[in-house]
């Protein structure tokens, strides 16, 4: 039942054993470059290259990747339509006024800016997906520890992470039990079923919490939450391509900054 | 054997609840296998949680190593390190996001240094057969694997006593057998093992002593054949008489001679029936049992050995032996009660091969020897690699019998 979760993909791709720092460098680096780029070509190229990298060498299922892209794609599509009509400078290329008080216009400036936003969203989303799909949370915890994030916070995050799956599984089981007995069949019934699900979930989370304290006490809990800091070493084999790629992207960025007159 | 755990007239009442434990006294010796058996709500779990100080009795006292358990923090830490407790629901016991972190939880909190923690974790994981699972998150594991992680988490603290609350309740039959086999292995290494269960078929052949509990009281405390043989008590405790014991009692009631030692296994039962039919269980030229210590035979191919012999059955004892069998893609016929099943095969004139690891190799010889003395049937046990040579002495793992 966890097959569709991002966590599962992150645990099973072929980049799993690359040092998390290398992957974060690639993700955050390209994210930054995409954000500062004034021309759409940089984020477009970055997004396409990262997509290919995710699909081919990292062997992430195109179906999973496509499904993941749907949500941001729909959201962006709506925003772009609004942006097209809202932004305005330059020559009018399309006009629609069915009544005297409605006046919808699209200008070439609006098209330019919308394209830029679209490409930036694409580039940034793939950068973030790259991190989410190749780096499991468990590796990120270690990295956070190295970045001197307070241990208490990381311990809490680790416990939360562990319990997401337990509670998710429990919710799924309760939901199945309800559906089998025709829960959610009508609208009013659905609200009733959902409230019952949350009530049950609260009770079981409460007992799970008590059991957790028992389990920790039974193993002499003294405030220490061990961390597994035995990630793969940083390897030139994976770090070098990342640096080359970011340099290439930065180069393209410089060229476009010189070539493009700032649109904003 | 010295007494390791003792309860003296303990009583306990849950806040605003009925009395869960109403006056229980008993003792457990070092190295014993104890099964606490009783219906749901009899007070088994409550009693178990007293062994490591999770619950403090209202009156009476628990003694560990002949000293009363104290309930201040340093003493509790000490007792919890010596008495490992495995919860019924492994999901609730595993608290860390990866297997390694969870197993390291105990050692880290005991204040061990980094290298000791690493060694303890590696040892514990190897013990339960989960090498290479270090970085796996628990929600990617099967029920049996989770149980093993939970056990490893306790083993990493190297306790003297292991307490299991319903160790097999969430597992499929083969998973249950694996876990019981693991408990045997741990017991063989000197750990005292206490389990609570209502599975009499599982407890009967396994336990040295069974304690029947009902309504917070001890109903019966004796060897399993006596404890489960008291039909009145078994019925009162909402349990059932184990099939083998029932069969033996039924045969006895029909006037067939029954030996004093009740049957604990199919082997024992076959022996009894054959004796009734033929006066002895000696029918064929017996088969042989070959013992292979997988730790010592790293390089030899076991699969070619098996395929080169006709009708050779393979049994595995211990997790590393199972892994080896998996590696060599052997068809394993026995994974539980292996020695008895191989003796049964030998009595039918068939040969078998037992894969096992260091400490358990000697056990095969001891068991077969004991069987030989009892029944007069001599079955040959060969060490791996020298089988075929006529030798009646067995030299397995440097131990001459």
CB-based contacts of B292: which residues, under 8 Å, 6+ apart? B302, B353, B354, B355, B356, B383, B384, B385
Does residue B264 lie within any of the structural domains? no
Residue B253, Cβ neighbours under 10 Å: how many?
9
- Same domain, yes or no: B329 and B236: no
Question: Residue B323 corresponds to which tokens in the numbers above?
Answer: 């892994």
Quick one: average pLDDT of B89-112? 90
| Nearest-10 crossing angle of helices A108-134, A20-36 | 170
d(CA A229, CA A223): 18
Answer whether A211 sits within 8 Å of B81, measured CB to CB.
no
* Interface-testing mutation among A9, A167, A220, A223, with chain B (most B C-beta atoms within 10 A): A220
Does residue B192 lie within any of the structural domains? yes
Quick one: average pLDDT of B137-157? 91
- Provide the pLDDT for residue B156: 93
Structural element, H or E, at residue B365: helix B358-375
- Same domain, yes or no: B322 and B202: no
Confidence band of B366 (pLDDT split at 50, 70, 90):
confident
- What percentage of chain B has pLDDT greater than the value 70? 94
Of the candidates B167, B155, B157, B194, the one whose C-alpha atom is nearest the C-alpha of residue B4 is B194
Quick one: average pLDDT of A210-229? 85
Does residue B249 lie within any of the structural domains? no
- Provide the pLDDT for residue B10: 93
Provide the shortest C-alpha distance from residue A246 to chain B (in Å): 30
Quick one: average pLDDT of A126-130? 93
Of the candidates B292, B351, B282, the one whose C-alpha atom is nearest the C-alpha of residue B321 is B292
Quick one: average pLDDT of B153-179? 89
d(CA B37, CA B21): 14
- Judged by a CB distance cut-off of 8 A, whether residue A212 touches chain B is yes
DSSP A28: H
Q: Which residues of A touch B52 (CB under 8 A)?
A: 218
- Provide the pLDDT for residue A3: 56
- Indicate the number of domains in chain B: 2
- Same domain, yes or no: B182 and B295: no
Q: Can you list the pairs that A31-35 forms with residues at least 24 positions away whose Cβ atoms lie under 8 Å?
A: A31/A123, A31/A124, A31/A127, A31/A128, A33/A246, A33/A249, A33/A250, A33/A253, A34/A120, A34/A123, A34/A124, A34/A127, A35/A120, A35/A124
Answer whether A226 sits within 8 Å of B96, measured CB to CB.
yes
End of a domain among B211, B243, B275? B243
d(CA B5, CA B8): 10
Q: Each residue of A22-55: pLDDT tens digit? A: 899 999 999 999 999 888 888 999 999 999 999 9
- Same domain, yes or no: B55 and B151: yes
- Same domain, yes or no: B202 and B306: no
Provide the shortest C-alpha distance from residue B97 to chain A (in Å): 5
- Provide the pLDDT for residue B332: 86
pTM for this one?
Answer: 0.80
Confidence band of B386 (pLDDT split at 50, 70, 90):
low
A3 contacts A220 by C-beta, under 8 angstroms: no
- Same domain, yes or no: B103 and B192: yes
- Provide the pLDDT for residue A130: 92
What's the distance, CA A224 to chain centroid? 31
Of the candidates B265, B258, B260, B257, the one whose C-alpha atom is nearest the C-alpha of residue B371 is B265
Alpha helices, DSSP H, located in B14-63: 44-51
Q: Each residue of B235-256: pLDDT tens digit? A: 888 888 999 888 888 888 888 8
Does the pLDDT at position A68 exceed 50?
yes
Does the pLDDT at position A138 exceed 90?
no
* Chain B contact residues (CB < 8 Å to A): 52, 54, 76-77, 80-81, 84-85, 87, 89, 91-98, 100-101, 104-111, 117, 134-140, 153-154, 157
Does the pLDDT at position A247 exceed 60?
yes
Q: Which residues of A touch B95 (CB under 8 A)?
A: 159, 162, 212, 215-216
- Residue indicated by tokens 């974790």: B121
Inter-CA distances, B206 with A56, A162, B39, B183, B332, Å: 53, 35, 19, 9, 22
CATH number at residue B371: 3.90.190
Exposed / middle / buried, residue B330 (Cβ in 10 Å: 0-12, 13-18, 19+): buried
Q: Which residues of A touch B108 (CB under 8 A)?
A: 224-226
Quick one: average pLDDT of B344-364? 82
Does the pLDDT at position A263 exceed 60?
no
Does residue B252 lie within any of the structural domains? no
Q: Each residue of A7-28: pLDDT tens digit? A: 888 888 888 888 888 899 999 9
- What is the Cα gyration radius of chain B? 22
Nearest residue on chain A to B106, alpha-carbon basis: A219
Provide the shortest C-alpha distance from residue A219 to chain B (in Å): 5
Q: How many CA atoms lie within 13 A of B221 on its CB side?
A: 12
Answer whether A216 sits within 8 Å of B95, measured CB to CB.
yes
Does the pLDDT at position B51 exceed 60?
yes
- Residue indicated by tokens 């104290």: B70
Question: Residue A218 corresponds to which tokens in the numbers above?
Answer: 């039974």
Domain of residue B390, residue span: 288-400
Q: Each residue of B288-339: pLDDT tens digit? A: 888 888 878 777 788 888 888 878 888 888 777 888 888 888 888 887 778 8
Q: Which residues of A touch B139 (CB under 8 A)?
A: 2, 165-166, 169
- What percentage of chain B has pLDDT greater than the value 90? 31
Nearest residue on chain B to A228, alpha-carbon basis: B101
Quick one: average pLDDT of A149-164? 90
Does residue B121 lie within any of the structural domains? yes
Largest Cα span, chain B: 71
- Provide the pLDDT for residue A50: 92
d(CA B400, CA B385): 16
Of the candidates A57, A38, A75, A84, the one whose C-alpha atom is nearest the C-alpha of residue A245 is A57
Inter-CA distances, B119 with B115, B135, B155, B158, B255, Å: 6, 16, 12, 12, 59
Inter-CA distances, A220 with A156, A223, B154, B235, B358, Å: 18, 9, 10, 40, 31
Please provide the average confidence, as pLDDT, over all residues in chain A. 86
> CA triplet B164, B339, B302: central angle to 5 degrees?
105
Provide the shortest C-alpha distance from residue A20 to chain B (in Å): 14
CB-based contacts of B66: which residues, under 8 Å, 6+ apart? B2, B3, B6
d(CA B212, CA B375): 32
Q: Which residues of A touch B96 (CB under 8 A)?
A: 158, 162, 225-226
Does residue B250 lie within any of the structural domains? no
d(CA A187, CA A197): 15
Please provide the average confidence, as pLDDT, over all residues in chain B. 85
Q: Which residues of A touch B104 (CB under 8 A)?
A: 226, 228
Which candidate from A141, A218, A225 shows the least CB-CB separation from B52? A218
Among A94-103, B66-75, B202-211, B384-393, the least confident range: B384-393
- Provide the pLDDT for residue B70: 92
């Amino acid at each position: 039942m966890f097959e569709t979760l991002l966590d599962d993909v992150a645990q099973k791709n072929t980049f799993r054993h690359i040092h998390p720092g290398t992957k974060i460098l690639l993700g955050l680096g390209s994210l930054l470059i995409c954000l500062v780029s004034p021309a759409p070509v940089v984020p477009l190229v970055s997004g396409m290259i990262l997509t290919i990298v995710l699909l081919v060498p990292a062997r992430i299922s195109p179906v999973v990747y496509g499904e993941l892209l749907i949500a941001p794609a729909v959201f962006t599509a709506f925003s772009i339509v609004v942006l097209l009509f809202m932004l305005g400078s330059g020559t009018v290329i399309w006009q629609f006024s069915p009544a005297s008080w409605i006046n919808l216009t699209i200008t070439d400036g609006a098209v330019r800016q919308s394209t830029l936003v679209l490409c930036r969203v694409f580039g940034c989303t793939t950068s973030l997906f790259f991190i989410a799909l190749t780096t499991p949370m468990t590796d990120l915890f270690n990295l956070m520890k190295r970045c001197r994030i307070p241990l208490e916070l990381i311990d809490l995050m680790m416990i939360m992470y562990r319990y997401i799956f337990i509670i998710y599984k429990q919710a799924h089981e309760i939901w199945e039990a309800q559906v089998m007995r025709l829960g959610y069949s009508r609208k009013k019934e659905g609200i009733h079923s959902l409230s019952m699900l949350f009530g049950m979930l609260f009770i079981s989370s409460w007992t799970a919490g008590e059991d957790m304290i028992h389990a920790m006490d039974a193993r002499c809990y003294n405030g220490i939450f061990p961390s597994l800091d035995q990630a793969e070493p940083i390897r030139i084999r994976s770090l070098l391509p990342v640096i080359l790629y970011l340099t290439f992207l930065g180069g393209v960025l410089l060229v476009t900054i010189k070539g493009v007159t700032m649109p904003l | 054997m010295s007494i390791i755990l003792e309860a003296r007239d303990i009583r306990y009442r849950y806040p605003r609840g009925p009395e869960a434990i109403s006056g229980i006294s008993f003792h457990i010796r070092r190295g014993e296998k104890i099964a606490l058996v009783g219906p749901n709500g009899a007070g088994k779990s409550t009693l178990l949680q007293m062994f490591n100080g999770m619950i403090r009795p209202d009156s009476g006292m628990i003694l560990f190593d002949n000293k009363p358990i104290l309930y201040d923090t340093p003493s509790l830490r000490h007792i919890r390190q010596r008495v490992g407790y495995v919860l019924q629901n492994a999901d609730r016991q595993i608290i860390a996001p990866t297997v390694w972190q969870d197993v390291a939880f105990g050692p880290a909190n005991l204040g061990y240094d980094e290298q000791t923690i690493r060694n303890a974790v590696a040892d514990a994981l190897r013990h339960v057969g989960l090498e290479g699972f270090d970085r796996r998150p628990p929600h990617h594991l099967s029920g049996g694997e989770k149980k093993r992680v939970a056990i490893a988490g306790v083993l990493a603290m190297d306790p003297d006593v292991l307490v299991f609350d319903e160790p097999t309740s969430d597992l499929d039959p083969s998973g249950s057998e694996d876990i019981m086999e693991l408990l045997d292995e741990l017991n063989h290494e000197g750990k005292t093992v206490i389990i609570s269960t209502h599975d009499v078929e599982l407890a009967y052949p396994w336990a040295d002593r069974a304690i029947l509990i009902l309504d917070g009281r001890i109903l019966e405390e004796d060897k399993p054949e006596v404890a489960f043989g008291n039909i009145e008590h078994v019925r009162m405790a909402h349990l059932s008489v184990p099939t083998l014991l029932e069969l033996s009692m039924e045969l006895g009631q029909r006037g067939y001679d029954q030996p004093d030692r009740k049957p604990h296994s199919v082997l024992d039962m076959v022996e009894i029936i054959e004796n009734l039919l033929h006066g002895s269980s000696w029918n064929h030229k017996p088969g042989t049992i070959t013992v292979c210590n997988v730790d010592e035979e790293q390089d030899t191919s076991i699969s070619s050995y098996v395929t080169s012999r006709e009708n050779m059955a393979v049994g595995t004892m211990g997790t590393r032996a199972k892994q080896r069998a998996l590696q060599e893609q052997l068809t394993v016929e026995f994974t539980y009660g292996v020695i008895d099943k191989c003796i049964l095969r030998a009595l039918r004139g068939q040969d078998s091969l037992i894969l096992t690891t260091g400490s358990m190799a000697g056990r095969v010889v001891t068991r077969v020897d004991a069987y030989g003395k009892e029944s007069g049937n001599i079955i040959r046990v060969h060490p791996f690699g020298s089988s075929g040579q006529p030798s009646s002495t067995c030299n397995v793992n440097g131990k001459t019998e």
